[in-house]
Structure 1
Amino acid sequence: MSLTLRPGRRVALVGPSGAGKTTVAALLVRWLDPAAGRVTLNGVDVRDLRGDELRTVVGYLGDDAYLFDSTLEANLRIGRPDATTGQLEQALAAARLLDWVRTLPAGLATPVGEHGVALSGGQRRRLALARALLADFPVLVLDEPTEHLDDVTAAELIRDLLAAAGDRAVLLITHRTDVLGDVDEVVTLTPGSREAAPIGAYAGAG
């Protein structure tokens, strides 16, 4: 396959289970290296970059984004430890969580519990999104970010994800068809043979 991501573009990657969607995500953040072809960042083969260099540019948000057993603020600051309160609130507002946080007696000091158990599924995903936005990755890879959410919550979250991304390049990996009207391009993967290794061609900001 050939895939190009550009700043400000929203690309959806769809296809049946086993088609290779999550493999593409793993290639982009270099959890895997391609068996054939190459993945490039602004023309540079990502195999020539250190993993930590690449992952300051490409942010991954999956369906199981980890939350630490700490406060809302501490979880956010993982994305940017030196963030001001205003920047924290801006990220929460973009993820549509700020109004809710302001209703909490302890505000940003509210504990989230182990693995975010004190939050709803949608709130956990939105907090993870706010953290990713705060980290200011030029490229966001969203791998089934609404898995296990109800249809209404899932559709709202994806639309908010895409809107909050601003001028970032976004790859949305999803099985949902009801949000494809909100993206600029849809790429469909179909299962191939074991010998047909995916080839990722990738260009982004940063």
Structure 2
Amino acid sequence: MSSPLLPDLDSPLSPPEILRFNLERNPTFPTYVYPEHGTGNLTEISMLEFVRSCYRVGNAVYGDSKPGDVVAIIANLDTIVYMALIAGLMNLGLVPFPISPRNSAPAITDLLRKSSAHRILTTRVTLGGVIDAIQSEIQSGEPYALSTEEAPTLQQVYPHLGKETVRNPFIVPPPLFFPKENDTAIYLHSSGSTGYPKAIRLSYLNFQRLY
């Protein structure tokens, strides 16, 4: 396996720029490798396929949102879908907030309010009870607008799972978001071992300092 081409680390790229760089410079480099169920054969998700999946996520979830809006993710998803969802939201300037469904409804509600997240992407088949409890908790407190919708599926995000190439038709969207250093890139949360978990804001500058 050849090494990927790397950007100039003295001039860090934003996450949207990283996606575009890898699509152009490292399209065949494997992003994920996993054994196929039942056969043990290895399947590779190339950088081209992963970046396209991120763009598909954007088409699926953007809706009426605008850059800076926080979108909570409370869902049971395959890793390759979850990561495409996070990167796809960031590519549009939306702020992903992955929240563990193991938190209590009051704790999750507190995180939503403190981060000003008014959308939840979820998987109701597996987490319907959690979402119902959150909505009940929201309704019992101060008025707070909250919408819930299904997260994109594996089929939507990876229609050619493990087999997508440059020959598969795809229109690369133009750059739509150019983040500033202090813009919020993502929210995470603490473990909540001593009380409610705390929302942790990371800016794009925080990301650059990870290089």
* Range into which the TM-score falls when normalised by the shorter chain: under 0.3
Larger radius of gyration: 2
TM-score by length of 2: 0.23
Instruction: Report the structure, 1 or 2, having the larger strand content.
Output: 2
TM-score by length of 1: 0.23
Q: Which has the higher contact order (CA 8 A, sep 6+)?
A: 1
